[in-house]
Amino acid sequence: METFIAFLENIGFPVLTVIVELVFGYLIIKNILKQIKVLLIASKMDNSLVNFVVTLIKFGLMLGLILLCLSTLNIPITGIVSAISAATLAIGLALKDILSSVANGIMLVINCPFKEGDYVEIGSVSGSIKELKLLHTVLTTPDNRQVMLPNSQVFATSITNYSVNKTRRMEFSVNVDYDEDPEKVKAILLEVASSHPMVLQEPMPMCHYNYSKDSSIYFFVRVWTKSSDYWTVNWDLNEQFTRTLMEKEIQIPFPQVTVSYRKEAGK
């Protein structure tokens, strides 16, 4: 009995205490993270950023819980902290790219260049933002492929956000034959553009003669639409311009070359 009591005093009670600390600590941390997530969502922070911030807080709280358990076991924390610092330095040198992604992820959270669902172009990759993780930014491409870009790459390259503004300008190039009346062509193109239900009337659609090439003259049609309607308007107007010009018997030229010759005296 004396041996058993000595065992409990030296090892048993601290171990039981650590088990209790781990169980209750985990439950408390889980509840704290849940409340933090609710508060962040209520603050209208983007979902992708919410998950990133919650992950960082969870890492810090779990590290604190581990240090508390080590202290309960009478293990000197000072030495462990020093060892962790040394290990962190060594790991940091070995995993500098990963740590760079984490740091750049934090900078993306601070600068907030995009939010979940935004259609963006990051370098040569285009897609909708699905999630901002600790190491990666996850995009879904228009053909439903998932692309994971390291945060270090995302932060270091140019980011074009097509969803941040509510409206976008569209520009179409239309070519017709030299024999056609430019004013008639302009009227037809403006009528087609203005009649589309998703084209905004303010700013109003515009059509201008732009330049000439070997076989045709070109017109530029500029319209404004909501960012969410961009692709629908793009496909519709490209089709409607061609179909309407053909219905109005406006000649749409194809590349051609006119060859002339002359007779020389005595030949």
CATH number at residue 143: 2.30.30.60
What percent of the chain is modeled with pLDDT above 90?
19
More reliable by pLDDT, 241 or 11: 241
pLDDT computed for residue 85 by the predictor: 65
Which residues form the domain of 40? 2-94
How far apart are alpha carbons 152 and 100 in whole angstroms?
6
Question: 120 in a domain, yes or no?
Answer: yes
Q: Look at 12-16, 86-90, 258-262 and tell me which has the smallest mean pLDDT.
A: 86-90
Question: 13 in a domain, yes or no?
Answer: yes
How far apart are alpha carbons 18 and 90 in whole angstroms?
29
Residues 172 and 213 in one domain: yes
Instruction: Verify cis geometry, omega within 30 degrees of 0, for the bond prior to 14.
Output: no
Residues 144 and 173 in one domain: no
Question: 184 in a domain, yes or no?
Answer: yes
How far apart are alpha carbons 61 and 30 in whole angstroms?
10
Q: Collect all residues with Cβ–Cβ distance below 8 Å to 98 and sequence separation of at least 6.
A: 135
Total domains in the chain come to: 3
Question: 55 in a domain, yes or no?
Answer: yes
Question: 151 in a domain, yes or no?
Answer: yes
Three-point CA angle 23, 67, 104, nearest 5°: 100
Question: 198 in a domain, yes or no?
Answer: yes
Residues 154 and 185 in one domain: no
Environment class of residue 265 by beta-carbon count within 10 Å: exposed (0-12), middle (13-18) or buried (19+)?
Answer: exposed
Residues 192 and 155 in one domain: no
Residues 16 and 66 in one domain: yes
Residues 26 and 71 in one domain: yes
Does the pLDDT value for residue 184 go beyond 80?
yes
Question: 253 in a domain, yes or no?
Answer: no
More reliable by pLDDT, 68 or 100: 68
